Amino acid sequence: MTAVEVARALVERYFPECLAAILGGSIVRGDATPTSDLDLFILTERRDAPYREALEFLGWRCEVFVHSPDSYGAYFISEVQNRQPALLHLCGEGVLLRESGGWGERVQAQARARLAAGPPPLSDWELALYRYRLTDLLEDFEGSTRRDEDVVTASELARLATELILAHHRRWLGRGKWLHRWLATFDPARAARLTDALERFYRDGVKSALIAYAEEALAPVGGRLFAGFRMEGRRSVNRIHVVTNNPWEPVVGYARAVRVGNVIHVSGTTATDETGRIVGVGDPYAQTVRALQNIATALERAGATLKDVVRTRIYVTDISHWEAVGRAHGEFFRDVRPAATLVEVSRLIHPDMLVEIEAEAIVTEKT
């Protein structure tokens, strides 16, 4: 069986319900090696998405990147911000294996548009940090007489200089082989000079070519930077983050709860268990109970209890559920009596979610 046939069989075996399936990677590009695997993007409405899984199927090593219609867009945005378009590249260059409702074409069009637009420009702060770190590495490399340290520094020097070159020109970055591939796409001659510089150092111990490569990266952005660089330290009171295994937290950029001093803010919390499964589907009372239990757990990890709560905000998808939701809220806060708000919203992030609750707490005594 060909790689495409194996990929189609895998989709049929494990994801027959999927809205879209895209095969990407070296198999599609035509530069596969004997150790290459099959890279697949799967779009599905399964509740356990998003996740990434490695498996073996019909003698092939496969990696599947499984997303829901609500999750892949956030990953696209995150890759643009990080300047490393792994999923974007897979979807944009890949072969569409399965299509339903126009989802596959839509995903590919979005990926291609973001790839064509390129990453954002470096901020002044990012540029200064690149210059400072590269200057520091460069001077360590120039002054060192220890071969054992130099072999490591050389690799890091090459990586950082290449990142600066690409980021300064609003080109994509990557890890390992992909960093060199993006450089070769942007400037083949410079990629060849990098290869030559590394070979000369590792084979003959000659540093000059790699130093020249780093200097070439620094020249158009102001050269070396040491004196005058300043990185401000934190001056705020101690800040504590409570995080969970929720995959959205690092992608969207939030914590389950944040404590600054004696004040604790708990993010919008829904009725999910430790695995992300929604508890109490169709039951607003049960969902309120579970959401408040999750809030209690977050508060405990932040050094507080429900007795410290001073405000709650409750969002429901159907205001007619207010009595059931209010009854559950009262069971937790009858003696605490925080300020509270209950409002109806058009929808939450998942159609089975009926209730979402935020909370604020102030710790006034040791708990």
Tens-digit pLDDT profile for residues 235-266: 556 788 888 877 778 888 999 999 998 999 99
Residue with tokens 């508890």: 279
Query: Which pair of structure tokens corresponds to residue 160?
Result: 């950082």
In the chain, the largest separation of any two C-alpha atoms, in whole Å, equals 79
8 A C-beta contact, residue 145 and residue 111: no
pTM given for the model: 0.65
Per DSSP, helices labelled H in 169-313 are: 177-186, 188-204, 208-218, 248, 284-301
Q: In 3-state terms, what secondary structure has residue 127?
A: helix
Q: What is the chain's pLDDT, residue by residue, as a tens digit (367 residues)? A: 899 999 999 999 999 999 999 999 888 888 888 888 999 999 999 888 899 999 999 999 999 999 999 888 888 888 888 899 999 999 999 999 999 999 999 999 999 999 999 999 988 889 999 999 999 999 999 999 999 999 999 999 999 999 999 999 999 999 999 999 999 999 999 999 999 999 999 999 999 999 999 999 999 999 999 999 988 775 556 788 888 877 778 888 999 999 998 999 999 999 998 878 899 999 999 999 999 999 999 999 888 999 999 999 999 999 999 999 999 999 999 999 999 999 999 999 999 999 999 999 999 854 3
Q: Does domain 239-362 have CATH number 3.30.1330.40?
A: yes
Q: Does domain 3-117 have CATH number 3.40.30.10?
A: no
Domain ranges of the chain: 3-117, 124-221, 239-362
Sign of CA dihedral 111, 115, 118, 120: positive
Side-chain half-sphere of 218: how many Cα atoms within 13 Å? 24
Query: Which pair of structure tokens corresponds to residue 201?
Result: 């150092």
8 A C-beta contact, residue 309 and residue 336: yes
H-run or E-run covering 356: strand 355-362
pLDDT in tens, 122-170: 888 899 999 999 999 999 999 999 999 999 999 999 999 999 999 999 9
What is the spatial distance between Cα 189 and Cα 213, in angstroms, rounded to a whole number?
A: 12
3-117 shares its CATH topology with 239-362: no
> Which of 55, 64, 70, 79 shows the shortest CA–CA distance to 15?
64
> Which of 193, 189, 158, 190 shows the shortest CA–CA distance to 176?
158
* DSSP-assigned letter for residue 307: G
Query: Which pair of structure tokens corresponds to residue 64?
Result: 């599947």
What is the spatial distance between Cα 276 and Cα 83, in angstroms, rounded to a whole number?
A: 29
What is the spatial distance between Cα 211 and Cα 200, in angstroms, rounded to a whole number?
A: 12
